[in-house]
Structures are given as structure tokens and as C-alpha cells.
Amino acid sequence: RIDPYPLHASLCRGRSALAMGLLGDIKRCCIWIFCYAMFLDFQWPWRMPWNWRPRDLLKDVACACDAGRAAESDFNSGLKVILPSVGQTGTTSMVAALAELGLRTYHIEEQLPFIRPALLEHTNVTVWARHVSRCRVEAIALEPLVDLLPLALQASPDAKVILTWRDFGSWKRSTKAGGLKDMRWHYIMSVLLASSSRMLPWLSIWDAATGQITHLLSEGTPFHGLGQASLLEMFCFYSFFRNSYGHPETKVAFRGTNKISAGEDGYVEEAYLAAMDEIRRLVPPERLLIFDVRNHGWNDLTRFLGFPDQPAGRSFPHPRSKKSFTNDAVWDHSSMEQRVALVAIFLALHAVNFAVLRWAWALARRLYRRHFKSDSARR
């Protein structure tokens, strides 16, 4: 039987073959992303020579602008406010309030890239004061490394201390829920998506071409607050800032907040209350404010700090929400446009990584076959 439409049939077959080939590539790319993120990332790509630039930037460039060098001191951190309480006690609300009062405030998101040497387990007063003063930090939340309080007090003789308080029962429930969110979001964003930026030297190439990452780190500007983070800061945060959290010399799992957890029950009330009591014993009463974000407000805070009273009716900030999927201040405080753009960039880099490695594999096979055939011909 003669096909009356041979051209149409061949076009259909060609489109079908193209579609099947494209679907096969997409399937292989998805398998690549999963296998790479689960089994390779954090093991060797971050330690490869092509990622030397971002690693060195964290050590040498953080807060090293002219203003930072001028403010650097080995004896006085320059802090005005220290928040020594464990997480989920209202620290995020207090950090937001201090930022609204105009203080340059660091939470853990800023500490990881900008003052990393001060977070290591064997740090000392000189190192701590040097890095905090260089970043011109005025207020800082120590959690989860709340064991740094003695160093912070020694290096900050003029700082006032705010102990954010919460009863153990509600703190335990909040901490367990927040911990599950943190772990889930870490694997989704930092491991599965952001791993694409670490496979090949995209960070080094971008910074060598633009200098933007060096500038960002040298300024040390807080970025975790509402509307603060730019797309570049979000990209860097998930790509390599957060890696400092798992630095082997930091030993986060055995320090600070994590020392309160024990046994199958997860958290022990005696350890929680002992941590709070230690703060009360270390800090002179005239420098200490015990603050419950559910019962206290602007007047209690501003009077303690010596700031002007805030306008009547101004609500105290509560940036965290139980409905949040992530428990991540940087993500939750960003715009929808930034989120979509960031995910698109990470996925595009995964596709490019897959294409580059597929091409490299095909080239290697071609060269090997050519070499094998030439050897056979000689024989």
C-alpha cells in the first residue's frame, strides 16, 4: 500500500524520535542530579582545586573593606547587645527588632560567612574580638553556639545582654518542629538544588569576571532580614556560605544548643534551665534583660537599651510563622521573584553540568577508541 502522505509520516516519526530522545536526556539528567547531590556533593567537589577561590574568600576577604580594617580590634569587639539564648526562644524576633532600631545585627546566617574563625571550637578572645569588630557588628545572636558567651562578654565590656525566655514545654515543641523543617529544607535547597554551583567552578568564574562575591564578603552587610537579601546573596548563601555550618572544626553537633538534647526524648528540661541559669550567673544584673516576646514589647526593650520610645501602636516584629515550610529566614524574607529566579539558576546549572560531563565522557570514549584502533592497526 502506498502512503499518500510520505512527508507527513516522516515528519511525525522525526518528531517522535526527537521527543523520545529529549525525554531520555531529561530522565538521565534527573538521575544525575539525584545521584550527584546525594552521593558526591560535600564529599569532593567543594574540595576540588577549582573551588579554591570561594574557600579562600571566606578566610581572607570577609569584612576586609577599608571601614572593617579601621574598626578592627584585638581587645574590644564593639558589641552593644548580645543575645545568648538558645534558638526558638524569640531570638529571630529580637534580631529583627534590633535591626529596626538601626543596629547592625548578625544572626547565624551572617556569622557563617563573615566571622567563621570566631565560631570554631578552639577560638579565643583575641580572634573573636578581631573578627566581630572588623565586621562592625553592634548586636549578635550567639545561637546555636551559645557556649561562646564567656568569650563574648570578655571581649565586649560595654555590651548589654538580652535573655529571650520561653517555657520549656513550648520551646521543646517548637524546637522539634523547627529541626525537622531545617533538615528537610537543607536537603532540598543546599544539597539537591544548590549543589549544581559546586560541581564545576561557576563561583570562581563569576567572581573572577565580576568581583561581586569578593565585594559582598568584604562589606559584610547583614542580609537575612525582611527584604535585605539580594539574589546574589541568596545564591552565595545556599551555594557555599552554609557549608561553614558543617565545618569539622566548628563541631556544632556537640556544642551550644545541641548539648541540651539527650536520649530518646530529645531535650532535657534540666539542661535547658541550666543553660538559662548560666546566663544569669555570668551576666551582672544591671546588664541583663529577661525578655519574653509573647508578653514584652518595644517599651521594655528601648528603655533597657536607652533608645527613644517607639510610636504607640507599633507592633513588635514576629517574622517566624508556624506555617512556614522552611524555617529559613533568608528564604522566607525574600520575594517570589527572587525564589523563582534562584531555583531556575540552580536547575540551569544542573543541566549545564550534565551536558558538559556528558560531552566530556563522549570525547574521552572517542579518543580512547581512536587510540585503540591506531594501536590495532600498528599491530
Lowest mean pLDDT among 91-95, 203-207, 354-358, 369-373: 369-373
Confidence of residue 224 (pLDDT cuts 50, 70, 90): confident
Q: Give residue-wise pLDDT tens across range 251-273.
A: 777 787 877 865 556 678 888 89
**For range 170-191, the mean pLDDT:** 84
pTM of the model: 0.83
CB-based contacts of 224: which residues, under 8 Å, 6+ apart?
A: 107, 109, 110, 329, 330, 333
Q: Is 31 or 337 the better-scoring residue by pLDDT? A: 337
- Bridging pattern class, strands 105-106 and 139-141: parallel
Q: Does the pLDDT value for residue 14 go beyond 50? A: yes
Q: Is the pLDDT of residue 107 over 50?
A: yes
Q: Would you state the pLDDT for residue 257?
A: 80
pLDDT confidence of residue 22: 65
DSSP state of 137: -
Whether 234 and 334 have beta carbons less than 8 Å apart is answered as: yes
DSSP 291: E
Instruction: Return the higher-pLDDT residue of 49 and 155.
Output: 155
pLDDT for res 117? 86
Over residues 346-376, the pLDDT tens digits come to: 999 988 888 888 888 888 888 888 776 666 6
Q: Which three cell numbers stand for residue 358?
A: 556528558
Predicted pLDDT of residue 357: 82
Proportion of the chain above pLDDT 70, given as a percent: 79
The torsion defined by the Cα of 328, 331, 314 and 101, in degrees rounded to 10, comes to: 80
Q: Which three cell numbers stand for residue 312?
A: 504607640
Reported residue count of the chain is 379
Does the CA dihedral 58-59-64-69 come out positive or negative? positive
291-333 residue pLDDT tens: 999 889 999 999 999 999 888 888 898 887 777 788 888 888 8
Distance CA 148, CA 105 (A): 17
Instruction: Answer whether residue 174 shows pLDDT above 80.
Output: yes
The mean of the pLDDT values for the chain is 82
Are 45 and 51 within 8 A, CB to CB? yes
Write down the pLDDT at residue 2.
46
